[in-house]
Structure 1
Amino acid sequence: MKFLLHIDKVFRDLLLQEDTDNDKKITKDDNGPKRFVLVDETTKAEKVIEGTYHLANLLQELAVLKEKKMELAEVDLSRIQEEPVDRISRKIREDYWNELTRTIDKKGLLQILQDEKTTNEIPTLYVSAKDKQGVKYFQDLEKELKNFKVSVLPEGYTEDYVATLNTKPGILALGLEQKLYSLQGVPFVVPGGRFNEMYGWDSYFIGVGLLIDKQLDKAMAIADNFKYQIIHYGKILNANRSYYLTRTQPPLYSSLLVDIVKNKIPDLGWLRGHLETVILEYNTVWMVQGGRLTATGLNRYKSGGVGMPFEVEPGHFDDVLAPYALKYNLPIREFEQQYLNRTIVDAELDVYFVHDRSLRESGHDTTNRLIDTCANLNSVDVNSFLYKYEKDIAYIIENFFNASIQIGDLIYTSQDWEAKAVARKNRMDTLCWNEKLSMYFDYDFINGKQFPFEAATTFFPLWAGLCSEQQAKQLVEVALPQFVKMGGITGSTQASTLNFPIDAPQRQWDYPFGWAPHQMLLWEGLLNYKFFDKAQEMVYRWLWLITKNAVEYNGTIPEKFDLESSSHKVFAEYGNVGTEFDYISKEGFGWVNASYQYGLQILNPYLKEELNKLTLPEDLFKD
């Protein structure tokens, strides 16, 4: 049924009555009557809309029509009464992915150049000198657009050169593709609405969601931009901004390729090109001794660059910088600026920031697990990802290239890559597995011992498939209960956070916060080892949390959650992206969107019904 309404009038009346805290949303925190009467302009029929969820849906539908400048329009009541699970999933599939899609081309740059993070006096786009087509395209565009500068990155640029760009930061070009009438940017999907850059590991999880939602072309475009970055910038970047040129992200490129080929077998030329680039990245980014490869035979995160990371807000490191400001007899803001600009160089402080930059390379920015120690650790997460690389490369060579492929002068066989995976598993069993505690721990290769921090990354070997059946059983039966809260697993156990000073900053990747990638990797790991009932439970817990917050808070889908309070109201560093919007959430948050769609693929029909009713997980899953 549809009601014909005066959109502006109903919109104003609804907000006046129900949005009592004036935040331009209708949420459980508002104190209105939670009952609104619609009157059809033609038939004068009435329809009563009741409850926070349905009133918020009405507000959202009206907001869409207002944006279309429609004065008198029909509102579809079925959309207002839509079941929560159906509505959330539909909006992700039909709206959110498109709202999060960007391109680096003429059309896309008009939006991107307005980004406050492009803080140069003249918004600047950096293009690799290797990209001859891109250099010409963007230099032609520079002549056409006003207040826009193109700068060509020299081949073989150094870390010192990258440091000079901190005074003139800008966006980095990504791939272009020839369409029927013009060159266009290869699309990418950003994490959230305030972002205009492509993030490394976010993009993998987003790709999982895109594949589920039958958007294969966009998932393949993510892979194409990964390939572009490796060829032109030497690595998959933390994100395509100038100050990330020395920093990569968790290696998930091969996993995206395998997900794509399991979805639909692509052109073998396309696949071969990507396989070559995956192997190039593996060899040149991850397996260089003294860089990200250590003498143990295992890997670490080890970002390049010197000094403070450019992207943080002034004051973020005050607790770290204060003793050094005192040492140099300077006010802290002045010391911060001089250190950032490298007019002051302090070797001891530089070591701290090697670890900090490496921590940000891990994607876990920040966690007490990695503060001031990251580059000293053979971390469980990166070695699980690289084990998966070795298995994925073996799988692709075996199944698509007759078990052997020649790249340049070298011949690679699936058997060789399987052997690499076995060797890594054996080293992780020796150095990272803790039989007594039934967990994997990062290995501190400087001090020759495990780093005793209980993190959700202990479940990554389940996802990668490197556990024995017995190790998997111990992880699920002994370790997992220590992380489980009502709405999923926390980034660390509470016990691990108690080892740090009570006045220390609350790190967003630690207890009590919950993140989509941790949940998704856990679910797949549980399925790998046939813990099907436990997978159903863990999926339900997280989807219940997302659904509950969307129902109670005007469709909010945030970056992360506080699992102690089962809320998106997070009080930790960096706030919570995805919670600030007027009237309607247009894009959700990338990997949370993906986790919802992925979880629904796993969840059985009975639990989906319970999810719509917001039945508490504790009422469904009892020991």
Structure 2
Amino acid sequence: MHFKLPISETLQALLQQEDTDADNKITIEDKGPKHFKLKCVRGNIYEVKGTYHLSNLLQELALERQLGKTTAEIPVEKIEELPSYRISRMIRDYFWNDLTRTIDKKGLHRILGDEKIQDTIQRIYVPEKDLEGIKYYKALKKELPALEIQILPEQITPTYVKSINKKPGLLALALQDGSGVPFVVPGGRFNEMYGWDSYFESVGLLIDNRLDLAMAMADNFAYQIRYYGKILNANRSYFLTRTQPPFFSSLLKEIYQYDPEVSKDWMSRNLKMVIKEYEKVWMQKGVRLTETGLNRFLGEGIGIPPETEEGHFNFVLQRFAKKHGLSLEAFIQAYDGGTLKDPELDAYFMHDRSLRESGHDTSNRLDDICANLNTVGLNSLLYKYEMDIAYLIENIFNDSLEGYNSAFWLDKANKRKALVNKYLWNDKEGSFYDYNFVSKEPHLVDSATNFYPLWAGLCNEEQAGKLVSKLFDRLVQNGGVAGTSNITEIEHNAPQRQWDYPNGWAPHQMVIWRGLQSYGYEREAQELVYRWLWMITKNAVNYNGTIPEKYDVVGCTHKVYAEYGNVGTQFDYITSSGFGWMNASYQLGLSILNKEFRMQLDQLVNPDDIFSKQT
């Protein structure tokens, strides 16, 4: 059964009746009658009932209108589509394409205009050694005279980056055959390629058979290492001194496991860049390699990070303004202008940039301390780098690449494991904890990143058992794993941080699910997958298909307002892209979830009604 509907008239009537809060969506907060009559092609009347089915009708009409149609033929199967199947289909068929960008003539109109940047000039920075890029963009400027091309020097220092903060712009990425190599952006206001987002998005891309895009992400990672010296926080000029959690080796390994016939030359080029990143970014003594032999995040820079929203640091800066006897405005002008020096505040911003480099922007767990920590998460990722490089060299290159063999990298991994157990494992608590190498004591905060050793394969079976017990005791909530436990030992009236309790994030869930599976904790993995997918599905059913950046896993709601709001909640009629790693987590979760739980998911059965007796 299907309907042949005049799009404009049907949309107008549907919204007038059901969208009582006039936000161009149909949600559980609307007070309409929750039923709408349609005339079928054969003339009989069909009644669409309930928020979910009504919002599906709205979305299907919007999709048809986007195609330039005035009349839509909509099958009832799409209106009554089971929630998990609909969400997964939208991700696969629509969202990835809408999130894909290129930095070339075809794609620039979508990416240069950035609501986060006050400077209205369309500016691209190109590395001076990227001769192909310079030639391409200079030629493009002849067609787009408003485009400003800036050439980046080979040596990029914090002083230089601060000097261009008032002239922000996009950083060039890879070109191939006269076109930009594509990449997937997170969504919403984010129009650039982010470091660790790109890995997690690629997990979803591979599940949806988009090997092309996953390989393109790897090529852009390699370009960044070659020309910017690191995989960037994101390809914007103000991120030039900052990297993000290292996942490049994982991306290459998963591409190889997806397609063992992938070009050996392609893999060689990219694996060499992984090794270069490992050696030049992470293993430089006194920078990100500390005296313990373990690593830290260290985001370099000078002054106040310019990418934050206005007023973001006022809670901290008020204290320093008072210390110097200045108004807040006068203090900011003097400090950022360099006429007033304050080493204590310099240290604060070093830690702040470092926590942003960790991807956790921001968290009270890392605030004003991050650069002093050998973190569990980072050292687990670097252990996995060492193991992945060994695996790829052995399996693809007959155990020899550029003078390296697998034994060399396995030795590094074993040495790191010993140090992790020495400094980060707490047998009394039954958990890994970040280690403060300055105060020489553990940083006893329960965090989702403390469970990365499960994913990296770093812990033994006994440790794994204790970690699983700790995970369910401290972090598992109704909607999944919280970023941290409920941190109460924070400064009075400090702002709520988005990476802390009660919020949960897609990358944490994905890493923990796979970690549980790798140690044989299949039932626990099924439960955590179900809790997360149930929360996403419930919110999408109730709120017109909304799949935003973050969720409160305690309240099981997307209504999260800590820091920057919630990207992906503002749209008319239909979300066109969801949010990058949220989409990936949904596809990965469905690939893990068994058939029985998938059926219960589509019925929105509360996870506590399923798992309370089992756990």
Would you say same fold, with TM above 0.5? yes
Deviation at 1:157, TM superposition (A): 2.7
User: Counterpart of 2:398 in 1: which secondary structure?
Assistant: coil
SS in 1 for 2:109: helix
Aligned to 1:25: 25
Aligned pairs for 1:282-431 within 5 A = 282-406=278-402, 411-431=403-423
Between the aligned partners of 1:121 and 1:64, the Cα distance in structure 2 is: 32
- Say if 2:299 and 2:354, in contact at 8 Å, map to a contact too: yes
Structure 1 position 211 matched with structure 2 position 201: no
Alignment of 1:133-152 (within 5 A): 133-152=132-151
Q: CA deviation at 1:620?
A: 1.2
Q: Which runs of 4+ in 1 moved over 4 A?
A: none
CA distance, structure 2, for counterparts of residue 341 and residue 18 of structure 1:
54
Q: Secondary structure at the match of 2:22?
A: coil
Aligned residues of 2:116 and 2:189 also touching (Cα < 8 A): no
In 2, Cα distance between equivalents of 1:512 and 1:118: 30
Q: Distance in 2 between matches of 1:567 and 1:146?
A: 46
Distance in 1 between residues matched to 2:324 and 2:490, nearest whole Å = 28
1:159 alignment counterpart: 158
Q: Does 1:580 align with 2:570?
A: yes
Structure 2 letter corresponding to 1:537: E
Given that 1:119 and 1:168 are in contact with CA atoms closer than 8 Å, whether structure 2 keeps it comes out as no
Q: Which amino acid aligns with 1:380?
A: V
Shift of 1:428: 0.7
Aligned residue runs from structure 1 range 545-560, under 5 A: 545-560=535-550
Paired amino acid for 1:273: R
- Please give the residue correspondences for 1:95-244 in structure 2 after superposition, counting only pairs within 5 Å: 95-178=94-177, 183-244=178-239
Q: Which residue of 1 aligns with 2:430?
A: 438
Q: Which segment drifts farther, 69-78 or 207-216?
A: 69-78
Equivalent residue, structure 1, for 2:254 = 259
Q: Secondary structure at the match of 1:107?
A: coil
Within 5 A, what are the aligned runs for 1:494-505? 494=486, 497-505=487-495
How far residue 118 of structure 1 moved from its aligned partner, in angstroms, is: 4.4
Q: Would you say the 8 A contact 2:156–2:240 is kept in 1? A: no
Q: How far off its partner does 1:334 sit?
A: 3.6
- Picking from 515, 526, 530, the partner of 1:540 is 530
How far apart in 1 are the matches of 2:311 and 2:117?
20
Q: Give SS of 2:56's match.
A: helix
2:434 maps to a residue whose letter is D
Q: Distance in 2 between matches of 1:482 and 1:327?
A: 39
Partner of 1:274: 270
Match of 1:471 in 2: 463
Q: Which residue of 2 aligns with 1:484?
A: 476
- Aligned partner letter, 2:298: K
Distance 2:204 2:342 in 1: 45
* Larger CA deviation: 71-80 vs 566-575: 71-80
The superposition leaves residues 247-286 of structure 1 with CA deviations (integer Å, 9 ceiling, x where unpaired) of 0000000000000000002111111111111000000000
Provide the rounded CA distance (Å) in 2 between the counterparts of 1:438 and 1:581: 45
Q: Secondary structure at the match of 1:310?
A: coil
Q: The residue matched to 1:412 in structure 2 has which SS?
A: coil
- Kindly indicate whether the alpha-carbon contact (under 8 Å) linking 1:394 and 1:415 is maintained by their aligned counterparts in 2: yes
Q: Distance in 1 between matches of 2:37 and 2:3?
A: 12
8 Å Cα contact 1:100/1:193 also seen in 2 = no
1:208 Cα shift? 0.2
| In 2, Cα distance between equivalents of 1:545 and 1:528 | 24
Which amino acid in the other structure matches residue 38 of structure 2? L
Amino acid of the structure 2 residue aligned with 1:252? F
**Are positions 1:616 and 2:606 aligned together?**
yes
Structure 1 gap ranges (5+): none
The separation in 1 between residues aligned to 2:374 and 2:569, in whole angstroms, is 35
Q: Which residue of 2 aligns with 1:37?
A: 37
The amino acid of 1:255's aligned partner reads: S
Rounded Cα–Cα distance in structure 2 between residues aligned with 1:456 and 1:63:
39
TM-score normalised by the chain length of structure 1 = 0.97
CA distance in 2, matches of 1:307, 1:67: 45
Contact 1:118 1:171 in 2 (8 A): no
Q: Secondary structure at the match of 1:73?
A: strand
Letter in 2 for 1:236: I
State the SS of the aligned residue for 1:36.
strand
Q: What whole-Å deviation, never above 9, does each CA across 1:544-571 have from its counterpart, x for those lacking one?
A: 1111110011000011101121000013
Deviates more, 1:4-13 or 1:196-205: 4-13
Partner residue in 1 for 2:75: 76
2:84 is matched with 85
Aligned positions, number: 612
> Hey, what's the Cα distance between the residues in 1 that align with 2:516 and 2:546?
28
Whole-angstrom distance in 1 between the partners of 2:151 and 2:173: 13
Structure 2: state its 5+ residue gaps: none
Contact 1:99 1:193 (C-alpha < 8 Å) held by counterparts: no
Give the letter aligned to residue 81 of structure 2.
E
Distance change in 2, residues 1:341/1:39 (3 Å): farther
Displacement of 1:63 in angstroms is 1.2
Whole-angstrom distance in 1 between the partners of 2:470 and 2:537? 29
Residues 438 and 479 in structure 1, CA contact (< 8 A), matched pair in contact too: no
Q: What is the alpha-carbon distance in structure 1 between the residues aligned to residue 347 and residue 480 of structure 2?
A: 35
CA contact (8 A) 1:397 1:404 kept: yes
Structure 2 CA distance for aligned equivalents of residues 341 and 124 of structure 1? 24
TM-score, normalised relative to structure 2: 0.98
The superposition leaves residues 194-250 of structure 1 with CA deviations (integer Å, 9 ceiling, x where unpaired) of 221000000000000000000001000000000000000000000000000000000
Q: 1:599 matched to which residue of 2?
A: 589
Conserved in 1, the CA contact under 8 Å of 2:157 and 2:241? no
Contact 1:249 1:363 in 2 (8 A): yes
- Conservation of the 8 A alpha-carbon contact between 2:115 and 2:189: no
Counterpart contact for 1:84–1:551, Cα < 8 Å: yes
Q: C-alpha deviations, 1:457-493, integer Å up to 9, x for none?
A: 1110000000000000001123332111111010111
Q: SS of 2:107's equivalent?
A: helix
Percent identity, aligned pairs only? 56
Alpha-carbon distance between aligned partners in 1 of 2:591 and 2:16, rounded to the nearest angstrom: 40
CA positional deviation for 1:343: 4.0
Q: 1:42-61 maps to which residues of 2 (within 5 A)?
A: 43-61=42-60
Q: What root-mean-square deviation, in Å, do the aligned CA atoms of Structure 1 and Structure 2 show?
A: 1.2
Is residue 391–residue 421 contact of structure 1 (8 Å, CA) maintained in 2?
Answer: yes
Residues 4, 72 of structure 2: 8 Å contact kept = yes
Task: Quote the Cα distance in structure 2 between the aligned partners of 1:21 and 1:333.
Answer: 39
Q: Is the partner of 1:313 in helix, strand or coil?
A: coil
* CA distance in 2 between partners of 1:194 and 1:121 (Å): 15
